[in-house]
Amino acid sequence: MGTKRPTITDVARVAGVSKGAVSFALNGKPGVGAQTRERILAVAHDLGWTPSLRGRALSVSRALAVGLVIARTPETLGVDPFFASFITGIETALSERGYALMLHVVSDAQSEHESYRRLAATGRVDGVFLTDMRVDDLRPQLLDDLGLPTVVIGLSPGHGPWSSVYIDDQPGITAAVEHLVALGHRNISHVAGPAEFVHGVSRRAAWASAITDAGLTPGACITSDFSAQGGADATNQLLDLPEPPTAIVYANDLMAIAGMSTAIGRGVDIPGQLSITGFDDSPLAAYLQPALTTARTDVVGWGRAAAYRLLALVDGEKGCEIDLPSPVLVVRASTAPPCHQGTGAPLKDRRGPAPIRDRKKFR
């Protein structure tokens, strides 16, 4: 620590060559003789030289980092399994290229915009991921204006000119509804995420059309906020209805877990009197009582694909489409035939991936 880190100038001096030669040699580019190259590499190794990203970043006019801005409170972020997996996936792709991830966690949309502006203005990142897409989201336009390469997460390709990496969450909801219909449920409710979010409305639409497709009428739907409190409140409202549903499809696991607890607290037997499905396959889902039937998405793969895409975009390439698996339904113990079975025969035909019967059991 006493002595400063060696630079290519040091290497050049010791090796008796120019800085340019050193740069070429270290980057494996042509333009330097074989034995000169070896000598340079040997000197660099002896001196313990490592490239300075600061110098390189300035020189190539790149930050060699990408950004992820998350506008969430600790409460909603801390129990959402999405970002942990997503970031893990991102990292696998970035580390291969020596890129790093700058993370900003902000509380509201206001500081979110501010955050993007700063990221762009200071040149800290070469591109960003856009998550938690909203209906009529202003951010793609903002980032366009800022000239910051952007990969949008979870917006179906038709929705705009932006580069997006998409996993359709609808098959997960559809599979849940079909699973419930096959069990004999006829009054299936939905607890939706905010209408402000794309994944909120998308899952709601999937629920409604899956039920319609089964020849049934959609049950009550309550728009909530993806939080535990919201899931609990919505569940109470549904159970207070004159004709409460026999099954509830929740838009995420957190609301489903809170909803399930609420129902149990009211003396409702699950799945005997009420079937419940979630979305996310939280690491907790399999260990609840009863274990939660829920839709699982390959979020790590999603993150990896998004990162590859963003890096390609930064390089000015188009970026190849990566096939990502659709969500699959993991059937556990929170779903069962309703106690007052409907009259219609269970449907046999189903679309989308076949449900998985989860094998994990308590020992």
Select the span of 19-27, 36-44, 260-268, 313-321 touching a copy of itself (CB under 8 A).
Answer: 260-268
Locate the DSSP E strands across 58-186.
Answer: 65-71, 100-106, 128-130, 150-153, 164-165
* Token output for 235: 């569940």
3-state class percentages of the chain: helix first, strand second, coil last, to nearest 5: 45, 15, 40
Binding to a copy of itself by residue 317, rule CB under 8 A? no
Beta strands 150-153 and 188-192: pairing type? unpaired
Contact 185, 249 (CB under 8 A): no
Binding to DNA by residue 18, rule CB under 7 A? yes
284: partner contacted, choices a copy of itself, DNA, none (Cβ within 5-8 A by kind): a copy of itself
> Distance from CA of residue 295 to its chain's centroid?
14
Among 14, 17, 63, 328, binds a copy of itself (CB under 8 A): 63
User: Tell me, what DSSP letter sits at residue 291?
Assistant: P
267: partner contacted, choices a copy of itself, DNA, none (Cβ within 5-8 A by kind): none
190: partner contacted, choices DNA, a copy of itself, none (Cβ within 5-8 A by kind): none
Binding to a copy of itself by residue 142, rule CB under 8 A? no
**Cα R_g (the chain), whole angstroms:** 26
101: partner contacted, choices DNA, a copy of itself, none (Cβ within 5-8 A by kind): a copy of itself
Alpha helices in 98-187 (DSSP H): 109-121, 139-146, 170-183
Helices 299-314 and 81-97 meet at what angle, rounded to 10? Answer: 40
Q: Give the contact letters, 115-134, x = binds to a copy of itself (CB under 8 A), - = no.
A: ------xxxx----------
Binding to a copy of itself by residue 105, rule CB under 8 A? yes
Binding to a copy of itself by residue 88, rule CB under 8 A? yes
- Closest distance of CB 360 from a copy of itself, Å: 8
Binding to a copy of itself by residue 301, rule CB under 8 A? no
20: partner contacted, choices a copy of itself, DNA, none (Cβ within 5-8 A by kind): DNA
Cβ-based neighbours of 287, under 8 Å, separated by 6 or more:
362
Taking CA 125 as the corner, what is the angle to CA 120 and CA 127, rounded to the nearest 5 degrees? 85
Among 1, 28, 61, 242, binds DNA (CB under 7 A): 61
- Closest distance of CB 29 from DNA, Å: 7
Binding to DNA by residue 49, rule CB under 7 A? yes
Binding to a copy of itself by residue 300, rule CB under 8 A? yes
Binding to a copy of itself by residue 282, rule CB under 8 A? yes
